Chain A
Amino acid sequence: MDFAFMRDTFLTLIGGVPLTLNLAFMAVGLGAVLAMLLALMRMSGLKVLDWPAQAYVFVFRGTPLLVQIFLIYYGLGQFRPALQEWGLWTFFREPYWCAVFALTLNTAAYASEIIRGGLQSVPYNQVEAARACGMSGFLLFRRVIFPIAVRQALPAYGSEIILMVKATSLASIITMMEVTGLAAKLISQSFRAVEVFVVAGLIYLVLNFIITRIIMAIEWWLSPHLRRPPAIEPRLEAAHV
């Protein structure tokens, strides 16, 4: 092990972290909105809405992410004249936006199932109680269903975020220079696969560790009812003798 080389490698690779996080958070953020829509479509009870959502989830969970990225980045180039006409070509020409788009579509499919599970796990008596208080429609959703569902879905959503951070590495194949992209470049320049791998792997592990901790903190913050009550110190009262 050559520690000077590893330090240089670390300094190079750390430059890719902003892009990795940028891709992951763009995809998770936009994907969450799309996932929410898909979950509501699936739970609407209308076949016209349910079936397209089901097909979407089946297709995006059943094909490799890399195929989806290639389909969007290389594949849409085949329709360049049409895209140029619609003014979309500036969007699909950029590898960054193609990567964000593919990652968003992909995570939305997985996340919609997580959100659906969360929404379905809301106990019916909570909804009944809310209705008995006169809540309905959006107010019921905002005050009762959504908070409980979020609390239920959070652990699974956390692992989906970790998966997304890992999935951003595929953007390196379409020329995005994030951590894996820089690592691959370094390996092919120096042929020291093990050292570069160790450093890049450590960076990903630290990122994922921090994200896991943040999710755990949010979980703790969202579930005050499950926490142990703080120990109450017996107060010294003036004794009435």
Chain B
Amino acid sequence: MQQLSYFELVGFGPNGWGWALLTAAGMTIAVAICGFLAGSVVGTLVAWGKIGGNLVIRSLADGYTTVLRGIPDLLVIYLFYFGGSAALGAIGSLFGADGFVGVPAFATGAMAIGIVSGAYQAEVFRGAYQVVSRGEIEAARSVGMHRWLMFRRIIAPQVLRYAIPGLGNTWQLVLKESALISVTGLVELLRQSHIAAGSTRRPFDFYLTAAILYLLITWVSTYLFQRAETHSMRGMRRAS
């Protein structure tokens, strides 16, 4: 058999894996975005608990961030993957179904990423909240804003502005974490490269391509976060 060249292998021709890899890269981005958004919701709630909760809620929130940042992400993914199917199986057996119930890999992955990145995002949001000047919140209260209105109009926009650099870092973490979802069988970029490497016996070429695509995604998202940061800071005065 004649050896295919690298560009034939990863190109879009009849023997090329180009489309498969690009679709898989899209899957990586999709699962990372879903996980990141889930993490934002979790992170906001946990940060709220840390700032405004009573002693019990505060220590629960502190415990959550400490634990989730102290154990490997892979372990969390295993918990969701195996634990999720065990839980679904238990629920299924209540209704008379027995046997192994698989959890959709996409949902498992997004949830696991959300739970882990929520711990990081909570710290980012808490840090950003502390930068928002007390005077703004007092002013909002003095004009009679209620909590929700104050959150929506005063706190959320400013916290987001200060949180953008930290969120950018978390996004990079999430993106790299999404590669771990491949252990659950979700066909994202790394999994697809693994499949292609297995069927063509050219592992180096495919993993190299995967690395290049990851690098490209990282690079573009760094640029976008930088744009967002300068955009959100356009009205700020700088001391320099």
A residues apposed to B, CB below 8 Å: 58-59, 61-68, 70-71, 74-79, 162, 166-170, 172-173, 180, 183-184, 187-188, 191-194, 197, 200-201, 204-205, 208-209
Q: Are A194 and B74 in contact (CB under 8 A)?
A: no
Q: Are B82 and A204 in contact (CB under 8 A)?
A: no
Residues from chain B with Cβ under 8 Å of A205 in the complex: 66-67, 70-71
How near does chain A come to B234, taking the closest CB pair, in angstroms? 28
Residues from chain B with Cβ under 8 Å of A192 in the complex: 86
Of B19-27, B136-144, B203-211, the one contacting chain A is B203-211
Residues from chain A with Cβ under 8 Å of B72 in the complex: 166-170, 180, 204
Q: Are B179 and A64 in contact (CB under 8 A)?
A: yes
How near does chain A come to B67, taking the closest CB pair, in angstroms? 7
How near does chain A come to B32, taking the closest CB pair, in angstroms? 11
How near does chain B come to A88, taking the closest CB pair, in angstroms? 14
User: Given A71-B211, A77-B203, A201-B67, are A170 and B176 neighbors across the interface (CB < 8 Å)?
Assistant: no
Instruction: Name the residue on A nearest B215 (C-beta).
Output: A62
Residues from chain B with Cβ under 8 Å of A77 in the complex: 203-204
Q: Are B176 and A63 in contact (CB under 8 A)?
A: yes
A-B contact count (CB 8 A): 121
Where chain A touches its partner, the secondary structure class is: helix
CA distance A203 to B76 in the complex (A): 14
Residues from chain A with Cβ under 8 Å of B83 in the complex: 193-194, 197
Residues from chain A with Cβ under 8 Å of B219 in the complex: 62
User: Given A75-B203, A162-B70, A205-B67, are A66 and B182 neighbors across the interface (CB < 8 Å)?
Assistant: yes
Residues from chain B with Cβ under 8 Å of A71 in the complex: 204, 207-208, 211
Residues from chain B with Cβ under 8 Å of A59 in the complex: 211, 215
Instruction: Name the residue on B nearest A200 (C-beta).
Output: B75
Residues from chain A with Cβ under 8 Å of B218 in the complex: 62-63
Q: Are A75 and B82 in contact (CB under 8 A)?
A: no
CA distance A188 to B100 in the complex (A): 12
CA distance A75 to B194 in the complex (A): 10
Q: Are B78 and A197 in contact (CB under 8 A)?
A: yes
Q: Are B214 and A166 in contact (CB under 8 A)?
A: no
Q: Are B207 and A201 in contact (CB under 8 A)?
A: no
CA distance A238 to B210 in the complex (A): 81
How near does chain B come to A77, taking the closest CB pair, in angstroms? 6
Find the residue from B75, B82, B182 having the highest chain A CB count within 10 A.
B75
Residues from chain B with Cβ under 8 Å of A197 in the complex: 75-76, 78-79, 83
Q: Are B176 and A64 in contact (CB under 8 A)?
A: yes
Residues from chain A with Cβ under 8 Å of B177 in the complex: 64
Per-residue interface assignment for chain B, residues 119 to 131, with 1 indicating a CB less than 8 Å from any chain A CB and 0 otherwise: 0000000000000
Instruction: Name the residue on B nearest A198 (C-beta).
Output: B79
Jot down 26 A-B pairs with beta carbons below 8 A, ordered by A.
A59-B211, A61-B172, A63-B215, A64-B177, A64-B178, A64-B190, A66-B179, A66-B180, A67-B179, A70-B193, A71-B211, A74-B204, A74-B207, A75-B207, A76-B204, A78-B202, A78-B204, A166-B73, A170-B72, A172-B74, A180-B72, A180-B78, A183-B78, A193-B82, A204-B71, A208-B70
Instruction: Name the residue on A nearest B74 (C-beta).
Output: A169
What are the nearest 10 A-B pairs in CB distance?
Answer: A193-B83, A169-B72, A64-B179, A75-B204, A193-B82, A64-B176, A62-B218, A71-B207, A74-B203, A78-B204
Instruction: Name the residue on B nearest A169 (C-beta).
Output: B72
Residues from chain A with Cβ under 8 Å of B183 in the complex: 173
Chain B 48-89 residues near chain A, CB threshold 8 A: 66-67, 70-76, 78-79, 81-83, 86
Residues from chain B with Cβ under 8 Å of A187 in the complex: 78, 82
Instruction: Name the residue on B nearest A162 (C-beta).
Output: B70
Asked if B197 lies at the interface with its beta carbon under 8 angstroms from chain A, I say yes
CA distance A187 to B214 in the complex (A): 30
How near does chain B come to A207, taking the closest CB pair, in angstroms? 9
Residues from chain B with Cβ under 8 Å of A58 in the complex: 215
Instruction: Name the residue on B nearest A165 (C-beta).
Output: B72
